[in-house]
Copies of this chain bind each other. A is one copy, B any other.
Amino acid sequence: MTDLRLEPFFSGAGLDRADALRADEAALRELAAGAAARQLKWHEGLPELTPDGRLDWDSASKPELFLGFDGDAPCFCAIGPVVPDARAAFPLMAILHPEDAPLFAAALSLSRWHGRHRFCASCGHSTDIVRGGWSRRCPACSAEHFPRVDPVVIMLAEHEDRLLLGRQPQYPPGRYSALAGFVEVGENLEAAVARELFEEAGIRVRGVRYLASQPWPFPSSLMFGCHAEAESDELKIDHAELEDARWFTRAEVAGALSEAADAPFEPPPKAAIARTLLERWLAS
């Protein structure tokens, strides 16, 4: 049985997206003009949070994107100014309320996608927002473009009750986390896990298992948390990708997660699925 306390952050149903309404422009205009309509507040290119970590709302003055219904209230957002790096939102995760996390992720990814996809990749013409903001259409060549969702594998490789964790150069000092990489065209989840672990750490694996998934809106990843059995513990680290990678024992992982003073590494933050994977592994 899955322990519900060990579900990743950013999981959950979020709003009722009322998909069928997206094609009905007149209905959306009417909803946006109604008294119940609300619009997400932006602050410097990111959703604005109240002091207790909830999303903040205003009346619908620029309802460009239809996010769905919260009960009877239709929820919209404007296309926010694009911050150069979506990871500017990382500090917000420390206070973001888990119930608002799926909507935070949807609004941030969708808004940013519009900001970065104003032109038709097929012909270069500027495109129009359609379907309540869930796609853009080119008036010149009729191509329709949908928001990106980029699948990423993130995985714990295990060998004799030790886990492989690595650190990327941009991590805070001392942090180690699960290895990860984008799934490419022509491969499935299991093939991507095997390829990434071989590329980055030189290990061959078998028995790849899916564990959990999580949207990661920095800018639009969908993380697939997996587990794999390593055939050996001999590492060949790709230093273009990783600063370091090491095997950690169960006691070392437990020490890191309990933030012990002598912990051998700093774990990934609580909102990251890598943390969930480590917590599940310890509980297993």
Chain A residues engaging chain B, CB cutoff 8 angstroms: 8, 10-14, 17, 19-20, 102-107, 109-110, 113, 116-126, 134, 143, 145-151, 182-191, 194-195, 199, 210, 212-215, 217, 220, 222, 224, 238, 240
Residues of the B chain whose Cβ atoms lie less than 8 Å from the Cβ of A109: 185-186
Which single member of B11, B104, B119, B199 contacts A188 (CB below 8 Å)? B11
Q: Are A20 and B190 in contact (CB under 8 A)?
A: no
Question: Which one of B14, B102, B191, B213 lies within 8 Å of A189 (CB-CB)?
Answer: B213
- List chain B residues, Cβ under 8 A from A8: 188
Task: Tell me which residues across on chain B come within 8 A of A105, comparing CB atoms.
Answer: 185-186
Across the interface, name the chain B residue whose C-beta is closest to A111: B185
Report yes or no: B102 in contact with A17, Cβ–Cβ below 8 A: no
In Å, the complex CA distance between A210 and B125 comes to 40
Whether the pair B191, A102 counts as a contact (CB closer than 8 A) is: yes
The minimal Cβ–Cβ distance linking A277 to chain B, given in whole angstroms, is 14
Task: Show 25 residue pairs from A and B whose CB-CB distance is below 8 angstroms, ordered by the A residue.
Answer: A10-B186, A10-B188, A11-B190, A12-B191, A19-B199, A105-B185, A106-B184, A106-B185, A106-B186, A113-B185, A116-B122, A118-B122, A118-B124, A119-B119, A120-B121, A121-B121, A124-B124, A124-B125, A124-B126, A146-B150, A147-B184, A148-B150, A149-B150, A149-B183, A188-B213
